[in-house]
Each structure stands twice: as structure tokens, then as C-alpha cells.
Amino acid sequence: MLNKIKNLFSQNIDETQKRETEVADNNSQYRVIDTSNLKNLSKDEEVFDSKATEWKILASEWKNSNKTFSNTMQQMVADFHEAFNHPVSTKPTLIDLNRLVDRKGWGTLEEMVEQIHSVSNNEDEFLESIETIKNYLDKAVNKQLKKDFIQDEQDKIVALADGLADELYFLLGDACEVGVDIEKILTIVQDSNMSKLYTDENTGEKYAKYDENDKIKKSPDFIPPEPRIELEIKNQINK
């Protein structure tokens, strides 16, 4: 497998574009990316050390031959969950309430606040927008309090699936209004997240490390997503 990867080194690379090559071997897929063209895009030179001119076999090589989901974007996230020991259900399953609340708290809500901050021009605009969000939250809570609480487990899963689909629809709608081809951005984020995996020097196997707070540690091969996202957005703007 490594010989096949090395044979790719001699190929000419367009320095203004990222290049991805899919290589299949023994039911595994390897994405190989030349990151040398990204150095000039980064304001933080420490992000790209001498390894920046080398070909990277990203940890997105983690591919289970038994796919769980039929759509590419969800399967990418499932690959991440499996690699980093997060739950992945193979059939509709009711999530624990505390787990759901935590994921919405340090995931959905935090990212929403970050997006609002990125569009705000100053602190006043930002805080005013957050107050508006709080008002929307109060209205949503009052709306739900008028409904009966679901007791049947399968009915809970149906309602949760309906809500997740609506939430995803709104997220994709945001991407539509911004005009970003979001799947390409998600692929970049996936590659970055999977590059956090460490590589066993003896076996070559990928594995995750965690700090004392159970936060995922970044491997020496970690590649930050921002420079590639910047390049991709520039490409989408100028296409």
C-alpha cells in the first residue's frame, strides 16, 4: 500500500488547488492530500512545519467496510464516532436525555453562538442578537409546554427523527442562503478531525488519545481545517 502512495509523489500538482486521490486496497479507502500549497494561506506559521511539504495520508483512511448510513455526510461523522469511541447506533435508538442535552449544549448551541459572533460587527450587535435568540428559546419552550409528553419509546424516536430532520433542513437552508457548497467544507472538517488520530509506530494502526478532562488530543499529524476552508471558499467565490 505504501508503495502505491509513494508512486503518487511524482505526479505534478497544481499549486493553487488541493488535490485528492482515492486509492482502494483491501476494502479501505485512503485520501492523500498535498498540503504544501496551504502554507501561504496561514497567518500562523507554526501550523505548518517542515511536514507541510510532504504528502499526508490523513486519518480519514479510517473506513469501515460495513457502512451504517446511506448518505455520505452522516457516514463521515459515523466514521469519526467509531474512531473516537463515540456512540453509533446501527438502527433507530432512543438517545439518553442527558446525552442529548449535552450534545445540544456543547455542540449545536456553541456553534450557533460562534456563527452569530462571526457575523456581528461589534459587541453590542452580538449581545443584542443573543438576547433575540433567548426570546426565541422562551417561545419554543412555551410552545412545547402546551403539548403532552410522549411516553412510548418508539413514538419518542419518531418525534426525535422528525425534529432532527427539521433542524438539518434549517442548517442546509443556512448554507443555501450563504451560498456555500457545504459538503466540501464538511469533508475538510472531517479530514482535520480524523487527523487527530495517533498512529502506532509498530502496527500503523490509528488510535485516539484523551487528556485528563477526556478531551481529544491532537496527534503530531493534525492538520487544521481553516487554511483549506479558506482556499475552498476562495475557489467557490471565483468559480
Rounded Cα–Cα distance for residues 42 and 40 (Å): 6
Specify whether the CB–CB gap between 30 and 57 falls below 8 A: yes
- When mean pLDDT is compared across 1-10, 106-115, 195-204, the lowest value belongs to 1-10
Query: What pLDDT, on the 0 to 100 scale, is given for residue 163?
Result: 97
Domain 69-222 homologous superfamily, CATH: putative ntp pyrophosphohydrolase like domain (1.10.3420.10)
Task: State the average pLDDT over residues 52-60.
Answer: 37
The tens digit of pLDDT for each residue in 72-109 reads 999 999 999 999 999 999 999 999 999 999 999 999 99
Question: CA-CA distance, 23 to 4, in Å (whole number)?
Answer: 8
Listed by start position, the domains of the chain span: 69-222
Please tell me the number of Cα atoms within 13 Å of 3 on its side-chain side: 0
The string of pLDDT tens digits covering residues 111-147 is 999 999 999 999 999 999 999 999 999 999 999 999 9
CA angle 222, 228, 233 (to 5 degrees): 155
